[in-house]
Structure 1
Amino acid sequence: MFAKAFRVKSNTAIKGSDRRKLRNDVAATFPSLTSEQLSEVVPNKEELNIIKLYTHKGDAVTVYANVKNPILFEVEKTMYPTVYTLWSYPHILPAFSTWPPVLHKLAGGADLMLPGVVVPSCGLPEVDRGTLCAVTLARNSAPVAIGIANMSTAEMVAAEMKGKGFTVLHTYMDHLWGFGDKSCPPIIAPLEGEPSEVMDAEEEEQEDEEGKGQVLENSLSVDSSLQTNFGNLNMEEIPQCADLRRKEVPNEDGADEIVREENPDVSQEMEDRSPQEQMDVLLHQCFFHALKCKVKKSELPLLASSFLRNYMFSCCPNGQQLDIKKSSYKKFSKFLQSMQQQKILQVKELSKGVESIVDVDWRHDSIRSFVVPETEESELPVQDSRSGGGEQPYHAPEITPLYGISSKMAPLFQESGYKKGHTLTSSEVRSAIISYVKTNELVDETNKNFVKVNPVLCDCLLNKSEQDEISKLKWDDLLSRCLDQLQTFHQVTFAGHEPIVRKGKIYPINMTIAQRSSNKKVTIITNLELYGLDPQVVANILQQKVQASATVSTVPGSKDRLQVQIQGNQINHLAKLLLEDYHIPRQYIEGLGKAPKMGRKK
């Protein structure tokens, strides 16, 4: 469930009533916890946060986290513990053991197959189908995953330990684990009768037969070097697992690749390349990284210069500098022509020397197979001061309007695989509507500009007064009605950071003129933080430019919002700063019309 990055919707402190309800839910779900242990899991006074997020598959999940780690998560009103909680209370779930090489597959998103389950001499725990279970490794009883049993114990034995045993929900080393302090499992000695000495006697044979051959039923082949690493992940060596994680980069299919620093052959190959070849490699890396993670379909057409400046430069690894002139292409236009010949994108020349990217084939093998390099990112999109000579310039955020599916509109989108709570772009909404109409053969035979209204469209889009009168809708009317019925969201993406999705429309940067004593005017600017701008930095820049007093204060009636106040009507200077220096789109700036009118010179 958390094998790929998720999107955080909100993160708020828990209320007293919610804390009590959470404690009661945990007590009901895990009755084996004592009252003292329950107070440790859900403390009375320590800080707890409720984090609402969407997984990469669109599932809505509620996570409960303390200061350090996520401790519980809830899916469809069912409570589950995280591995951090299970390390402190491993007894609350029945546990099944597997071999260390299988952990790599589970962390990559695979389910646990029965051939990979270790059967101890005392037999398997007795569970029913649908029971929540923990998964441990041989030699260590610290849980490394949780999953739901697909069979009862009797059915597993009757199936001769073949088939899918457990649907895995959460694992050590997945993204939910990475949301915490990324600590490693503790060393918990196996209980009597568990397979603590099996691997000592037949370690190599079990790794080859059980850990490698049988697990291949559910996933791709594993690199031999990784099998060695995970095979040696025993009770004594688990504390070194954090170093192992830093040496591996997960790719899209769940398999791990050793980074270049750990592969002397790759490092030597890079050193043997000429500077021009190295620049070509960096150019391709930044190009595919930008297409895969930064550019949205709704932003096309996109100026080539904006794509290079705002997207590719931000994908350049730390310590390296992208210089087109040092590559074999010499010019960015030639590089784009090369990409167009490979049918990765389409470029259109608007005027001499001005090119625009009009289409991108995101299904192209080169984009799909590209593995995004692991980068060290700060937790928040921090803006560098333009006046302080920061190393990286400020990049305006990418703002994408989104539409949320409500329960009323859900039947219209379920055939396209979307559920209540999913957020879509306008193009995705359009595609889903067109697909629904064509699948249900609703296009009017006599006039293809009209769509016949079936019961689902009637319930979703028509008012009660219209339901008996309207039997057909024009395509434009159909789409506009659909967008009006959907919930409004917006997505803000800062360069090098995960997108932030908020409900409603984004507030524009607001500039107002206020009157003070002695008929003096001041300019007040609010909502700068929503666009990654530091109000104090903006105040300092304005103070230097206009030589007037500028202050930063809290917005009246708010606790965490700040406003900049500067003497005089400074709308013109602000407009130049926001539009030309920070490249904020004009539609996200309010108050430009309040600039002072220039009088005629005599």
Structure 2
Amino acid sequence: MFKKKPNIKPLSPIKNSERRKLADHIISDLGLTVPSSDNADPEDKAGLTALRNSLLPDGSLSARFATTAGPDAKKVSGTIYVGAYPNQDLRVLWVKLEERVYPTVYTLWHNPGVLPLLHTPSFVVEKLQGGADLMTPGLQNGPPFPEKAKEGAAVAIASLESPTVPMAVGVCEIDVSALRDVRGAKGHAVKMIQWAGDELWAWSTGGKPGISPPEHLDGWLANQSDVEQIQAQLDAADLQDEDDNGGVNLPSVGKNDSRPAGAADNARDTNLPADDQPDVVEDKELTTKEIDEAFKNAFLYGVRHFMETSKNEPNYGLSFPLSQSFVMSNLVQPFLPAYTPAQAASLLIKKTSYKNIKKFIKSLDKAQIIKAKDQNNNEVVILDIDFEDQAIKNFKPYRLPKKETGSGSGKTSTSAATGDGSDSSVGQKLKRVELFKPKERLSPLFSAVKADPKGFYTPAELRPIVTAYIEAENLISPKNKRIVTMNPILANAVFDGSVKSDKDVINKGFVLRDALVDRVLASCAPFHAILRNDDTLESTKPKAGAAPRISIVLETRSGNKTVTKASGVEAYFVNPQALADELRKTCASSTSVERLVGSSPKNPVMEVMVQGPQKDAVLKALEKRGVPARLVEVLDKTKKKK
């Protein structure tokens, strides 16, 4: 519901009497049990007070809000209740809609068990976080489902991968508790109210970003056996991507198949070696399970690469402990099977079920492939790798994607990812040419001097054409050669009234020669061509519009982390992935490449992101590829406005 930012009015304090009354209403509406106090006195209300404060902390505030929701943009209004748990900022804890109060995920993370908990695969949770409702076939870990999950009841939703951490709040549109089988079922099961990632989750008084969900919460499942049962179900599930009816069964790459997701079908039932696999791969986004498999295979590939290239060095050249950034930039990213733009956009750590590199490393530790340890509470390091593990020993390297030289050249480098890191854009020479194409109304002017009215011209080439025309028509003033006398063609085709001064020029009946050339240029359609090395204008097809500039943006994420993003490099024959690979090494930072928001899926513009304020490093890398700084536009969003 809160996919769009609501209009929230100023906050106002809640009286203690009103806060207690609201908390009692919530306890009654949700059927919560008041915990018993250690005091044997039956009149003791310590347990009730503790529950009230847990649901709605002392000092809470309220505010009215208005927004729109649904395909019809229906107007919705209500009340939000804001409070702060210990050592945390003010967050939206409850939202009131039509006299009913719903908890947000922040309340669920501090009050286990307040709502019935339903489960669904992580890739379905991603769709819920995009504003979709939960379909009946998406329900997992049942039947039986929770008894309280009846029609109209508020429920919490968690993923099978993190079964103890609710990620969304919704309302049952059917009696979920009565379901005996969801296979083949159709229709909506739960309508979404609020989720981690929406505008309520992101709201704060200080403008700070939303709080990331915890990795595990006690109290949402009865015991550890429930967690293990869900994990076993997840391991055995044959999930499919959600169809129009909410189904979740996807064909997956087998667990014993070491080939990458997206390439397994090409290699199946063939005796071709990995490097000879066909280049034809379907250009489609990968499912979460395929992305998980691809990241695991990439790590195994990375380990095998070090084992084969550094046989005589201790630990095969790996210096333990290995940091998260080292693992991502040296053991995972160079070996991801991103064969197509859609796959490159899919193969991001945030699109795995792990969501971040920390959880990914812990999954490898759980599989006993590595030994990991938490460090500084927010990072995990690899202490050792079991090089004798069967997953590593039996791993068969696959063909890695070929490195493209850049869009527009139509050529590719023949170096498959063999570790040479070759990039043909390094050292290239570029020339940007500004061109103009006459519009149809200028045809008489160009035809009069036998110039092609549909050709492309540089500004230097247009001036002699205009000069030839005014000489052929004898329009030069005998008293001043800088003055040109107007004629009907110039009046209609050039000075057509699109500029305020046109009327004055026509009334006077003459114009300066330089002003005439400028107006002819303005009356032409702008084009551009970017010539590479020995390319010529005759062999290059000009593109409409002015020549683009590469964009570099510095911005702050997660409170105080700076990232540098570069986009638009393809126009200058620069491969975004090759640029990211170089920046990862030169900056010793993690990098990623994904489609720029708003660009066309058919002809995507890729965005290179590198951790840290790396503007100078990006400019230097572009300069190596023939792109001067004047063709780059830098926007620093980290500087505070005065």
Greater helix content:
1
Per the normalisation by structure 2, the TM-score is 0.36
In terms of Rg, which structure is larger?
2
TM-score after normalising by structure 1: 0.38
